Structure 1
């Protein structure tokens, strides 16, 4: 069984079809890449998976559970899907450490010391430990991407979802992100990545799914 199973997914905005009968599986342990031009529905697809956007018809199952069942805890669903946003979505007034621990403390109820221990494990894993006390304005774009990844991984998600992870980065940093994704996948982290970056796609996945006009 696929970790994520999407069947006949349809999403409309003001009667304009954005996603038109999408079928997609993400298998545990793989990196699934979805490519397509800007405006084709890639980001909407990701937001449907964790119900940031409600879809019109079709089904999405995560670990065999229909995410629209009446007994689904949406907060728990979102915690199981580590979302790395296109512009990183770091809180500018918080340090790297506080950005990574925020979800652990507010959603998991961890004490600060316990949350910081968990966060430090991920920051070390992503070579960001020495930047723990810096603010987002004090680190590079590639480093912000690593912090966003550390924040997602700290929640022990079933899958990490990446929305255009290299769109804000220069070619050197983009290559580093590709290498980082490959390393995480070698550690059995399941990832779903949408991108229009052909170089990144070819580096991190053996097969690529193309989305065009929904």
Structure 2
């Protein structure tokens, strides 16, 4: 059984379908990337999957449970889905360590010492233990993203969602984050990543879903879609990305 199964997912705003019949499967330990042009619904998809948004119709099956049911415990669901935001979403008045321990104490009810131990484990995993007492303003963009990933991992989620994880970073820092995601993949962490970063998808050699007009227009290995694809829309999109244009906006 897949970790996550999505069938005929629809999300409408003012009568317009932003998502129009999305089907998606994510296996345990798999990394899958979602790409597509600006406004195609990529970020909306992530927000529907962790129920930040309530879809108009369709099914989301998470570990065998239909989480679109009205009686779904959305708070419990979100504790099983780690979400790494584009802008890091760190609390500026808290240190790196405090940012990671906050959810453990408030949501999991851990004692301060136990939460700190767990947080330090994940900060070490992200090579950020030496920066544990620094505030976000004292960290680089890449370091902030590592803290955000450590915070998500500390909650021991079943899957990590990344929303444009490299878009707020310069190229060098973006490569660092790509390396981190690659290590998580080798550790068999289940991940779904929305990105405009062609280098990320290509470097990780993962399966890519191409969204356009609210629908999955193609799915395949990265090199299959980045090559001379038979569909002119897909070919044009990735040609633009290779040429340095706007690969995939939100």
- Residue in structure 2 matched with residue 150 of structure 1 by the alignment: 150
Verify the 8 A CA contact 1:32 1:205 in the aligned structure 2: no
Q: CA offset at residue 70 of structure 1? A: 4.0
Q: CA offset at residue 206 of structure 1? A: 2.8
Distance 2:6 2:65 in 1: 11
Report matched runs for 1:73-152 at 5 Å. 73-152=73-152
> Which 5+ residue runs of structure 1 have no aligned equivalent?
none
Tell me, what secondary structure is at the counterpart of 2:212? coil
Distance 1:100 1:207 in 2: 30
- Residue in structure 2 matched with residue 63 of structure 1 by the alignment: 63
- Residue in structure 2 matched with residue 181 of structure 1 by the alignment: 181
Q: Deviations over 1:86-119 (max 9, x none)?
A: 1111111111111001100000000010000000
Distance 1:88 1:14 in 2: 30
Verify the 8 A CA contact 1:31 1:205 in the aligned structure 2: no
Distance 1:40 1:148 in 2: 26
- Computed over aligned residues only, the root mean square deviation of the Cα atoms, in angstroms, reads 0.9
Q: CA offset at residue 152 of structure 1? A: 0.3
Q: Deviations over 1:32-91 (max 9, x none)?
A: 101112211000000001100111000001101000234421111000000001111111
**Which has the higher Rg, Structure 1 or Structure 2?**
2
Q: Give the TM-score normalised by structure 2.
A: 0.84
